[in-house]
Amino acid sequence: MSQATLRVQKISGHAGSVPGEDTQREYTVCKLIDTTTCIGCKACEVACMEWNDLPFGETVFDNTYQTMPETRWNYWNLILFNEHEREDGSLMWLMRKNQCMHCAEPGCLAACPADGAIVQYTNGIVDFQQANCIGCGYCITGCPFDIPKMNPKTHRVFKCTLCTDRVSEGLEPACIKSCPTGCLHFGSKDDMLDLAGKRAKQLRDHSNFPKAGVYDPPGVGGTGVVYVLHDATNPELYGGLPKNPHVPLSVKLWKGPLKWLGNVAMIGGLVGLFVHYLRYGPKAREEEDLAAKPGGGKS
């Protein structure tokens, strides 16, 4: 939901300038998720549903601790569980809180054809405006994290808002507030990256995780949600977190070269046909045929 104190710097399917672009001196907000201190309690899942007033759907038990296989239109925040055997034979239980990553260059927004259905605020939050959503599902194809989900009844797409309503009032998102271990942090992107970097270094230097690192993928311009991972070289272990996410090639092709080619062809075609008509005119005139006929059967 849009908030008056949040200004918009990017708009989906929008012709012309964007009202909030370069109008605000605001820091980019960021959520830090330290997977190494997550205990998988799911307090964040409950807090998300509570705060956002989402109707509860059925959980799916598949012999894991996971609430359901993937996020839903009404379940924006889901902890993914993975049992991972390390090279030395020891077992690790990896838990990752999965939700919208709030990309700096959002693929959903690039793919969306509906004016104002997806916006990015100057603080970096990517938000869906369901009133403007037309239900085409293009955002689903644009997301490298498979996050947007469609409500089958209303044909509108939903996802985590990073609690824009709370953030615009100076509060932290509901999930952050609920976390009992303090593995979730919220603040400016710079502060979060700093904190994450320190934590990763600590893991490398003192906790025998030489590959620990920060997940802030550059392929999508960086994300508004960053992770600390025990093994940053292998993010797929954490419930399929993509190693190098980027806006899908299909969306880039379609919004880039294909669009240009199409527009040039359309306008060129119209102009070309018009000029052709000016130059050559009609092939023949039917009136002349009719006029010529009584004159004794023109062949």
Partner 1 sequence: MSPSEQSIPHGHVLRYNLRERLTHWVAAAAYIYLLSTGLAFWSPWLFWLAAALGGAQVSRMLHPWAGLLFFASVWNMYVMWARQMKYTDDDRKWWKAVKYYSTNQDDKMPPAGRYNAGQKFLFWGFFWSSLLLLLSGIIMWSPQYFAWHSLIAMRISVLIHASAALFTMGLFMIHLYMGLFAERGAFGSVIRGDVSIAFAKRYHPAWYKEIVGESSSPRK
Using CB under 8 A, list all residues that contact partner 1. Answer: 13-15, 111, 113-115, 132, 134-138, 140-141, 146, 149-152, 155, 248, 250-251, 253-254, 258-259, 261-263, 265-266, 269-270, 273, 276-277, 280-286, 289-290, 292-293, 297-299
Handedness of CA 91, 199, 178, 119 (dihedral sign): negative
Rounded CA gap, 62 and 68, in Å? 8
CA 84 to chain centre: 28
Rounded CA gap, 190 and 127, in Å? 21
Rounded to a whole number, what is the distance in angstroms from the first to the last CA of the chain? 73
Q: How far is the CB of 4 from partner 1 (least distance, A)?
A: 24
- 186, 172 in Cβ contact below 8 A? yes
Given the complex with partner 1, which of 155 and 201 has the nearer CB atom?
155
Q: How far is the CB of 105 from partner 1 (least distance, A)?
A: 17
Coil, helix or strand at residue 238: coil
Q: How far is the CB of 256 from partner 1 (least distance, A)?
A: 12
Q: How far is the CB of 98 from partner 1 (least distance, A)?
A: 16
- Nearest of 250, 251, 258, 200 to residue 229 by alpha carbon: 200
- 9, 122 in Cβ contact below 8 A? yes
Given the complex with partner 1, which of 86 and 259 has the nearer CB atom?
259
Given the complex with partner 1, which of 86 and 276 has the nearer CB atom?
276
Given the complex with partner 1, which of 170 and 281 has the nearer CB atom?
281
Q: How far is the CB of 84 from partner 1 (least distance, A)?
A: 25
Q: How far is the CB of 101 from partner 1 (least distance, A)?
A: 16
- 135, 155 in Cβ contact below 8 A? yes
Given the complex with partner 1, which of 14 and 166 has the nearer CB atom?
14
Containing 298, the helix (H) or strand (E) segment is none
Given the complex with partner 1, which of 137 and 187 has the nearer CB atom?
137
Rounded CA gap, 32 and 74, in Å? 23
